[in-house]
Copies of this chain bind each other. A is one copy, B any other.
Amino acid sequence: MSTKNVIVIGAGGVGVITTLTLAKVGKANVHLVVRSDYKQVLENGYEIDSCDYGKLSNWKPQFVYSSITEASKSGKFFDYILVTTKNIPDGPESCTVHAMVQPLVESNYSIDSTKLTSVVLIQNGIDIEKELIARLGSSKYNVAFLSGIQLIGSSKIGPAKIKQIGRDQLTVGPFISSDKQAYTSAKHFIELYSNKDVNDVTFDMRVRYSRWKKLLYNAICATTATLVTLDTRSCYTLAPAVIDIENNYFRPAMQEIVRIAETENIILDSQLVDFFITSSRNSVHKPSMCLDKERGQLMELEVTLGNALRIAAEYQLEAPILTILYTLLSLEQAKVKKAKGLLK
């Protein structure tokens, strides 16, 4: 079997460490699309301070492209297209996942229509694969859709400057559990990405479950902290005791997610709720959604709260706390859109 080509879209804290990992493991040819920092990376490479790989200077990925268009014209077949950007379907059309992935799927297909392209979405949220499958799925192209859920404390702290403080933990699996091609492809990707004693890479047969689970944090703790511009720990410590924010707010809000997930026969048990209560009580970092708000960047609101509420609506299930959070955060999101000239 020839060496696989893996291309990473999204050269932020997550994407660069993902690229570095693939390069360090050395079982694939690694390609990175670098937009804003392209010149710096080409000339001087990355400066990386990583808890997994130590300090690196002038580190350059094997192949660098300034745009997806450039990559799609490279003549290369990309076996894996990894998307590590934020997922903002309500943002500019050109930055939606399908708009980014489609040119590469098409160029792949024109190079060799018999070969499988695997698209791996290393992103938060629920239902993030739907639009992509609708556009690129079925038999039109030969594409497998993979889910990647990553825990990694990594940020871009300056142009071409990356700092990773949390060990890379990635779970990968097929979005559609019956999809055998995706199953095999996910297993193979884990081989390309696993780095014994350095990262934790596991196969995930229950992608949907894992994504609902993570929403207990992303749709509730992160959103609440974002609205009031705090870290999640402060949401507990600053709330007046009489409110009992854990039992009267956070737990009932998480139960709304639990009930929505139940409509899909996904059971998020009470220990999971306990786990996210404890971890949000202990986290002294502002959620990335909150940092986005502070920086005037669009937030991953639709793929977390928005999609969860759309599923609730299909089942006429009420989710009062999530609905209000979504309403208020939609206003924050609209402020950002207005400032960016994205409102009609």
Q: A324–B321 contact, CB under 8 A?
A: yes
Q: Which of B228, B248, B324, B327 contacts A331 (CB 8 A)?
A: B228
Q: A248–B327 contact, CB under 8 A?
A: yes
Q: B338–A238 contact, CB under 8 A?
A: yes
> With the chains together, A326 CA to B228 CA distance in Å?
12
> With the chains together, A238 CA to B327 CA distance in Å?
11
Using Cβ atoms and an 8 Å threshold, which residues of chain B touch A326? Answer: 243
Using Cβ atoms and an 8 Å threshold, which residues of chain B touch A334? Answer: 238-240
| A47 at the B interface (CB under 8 A) | no
User: Binary interface profile of A, 216-235, with partner B (CB < 8 Å = 1, else 0)?
Assistant: 00000000100111100011
Residue total for A at the interface (Cβ-Cβ under 8 A): 29
Using Cβ atoms and an 8 Å threshold, which residues of chain B touch A343? Answer: 238
Q: Which of B234, B239, B320, B335 contacts A327 (CB 8 A)?
A: B239
| A292 at the B interface (CB under 8 A) | no
Q: Which of B240, B320, B323, B328 contacts A227 (CB 8 A)?
A: B328
Q: A335–B238 contact, CB under 8 A?
A: yes
User: Binary interface profile of A, 227-257, with partner B (CB < 8 Å = 1, else 0)?
Assistant: 1111000110011100101001100000000
Using Cβ atoms and an 8 Å threshold, which residues of chain B touch A324? Answer: 249, 320-321, 324-325
Q: A239–B335 contact, CB under 8 A?
A: no
Q: B335–A230 contact, CB under 8 A?
A: yes
Q: B330–A240 contact, CB under 8 A?
A: yes
With both chains docked as a complex, state the minimum distance between the C-beta of A117 and any C-beta of chain B, in angstroms: 33
> With the chains together, A336 CA to B332 CA distance in Å?
21
Closest to A332 in B: B228
Using Cβ atoms and an 8 Å threshold, which residues of chain B touch A227? Answer: 227-228, 328
Which positions 195-210 of chain A face chain B at CB distance < 8 Å?
none
With both chains docked as a complex, state the minimum distance between the C-beta of A200 and any C-beta of chain B, in angstroms: 34
Using Cβ atoms and an 8 Å threshold, which residues of chain B touch A224? Answer: 328
The 6 listed contacts between A and B (C-beta, < 8 Å) are A230-B335, A240-B334, A243-B330, A248-B327, A320-B320, A328-B328
Chain A residues in contact with chain B, CB under 8 A?
Answer: 224, 227-230, 234-235, 238-240, 243, 245, 248-249, 320-321, 323-328, 330-332, 334-335, 338, 343
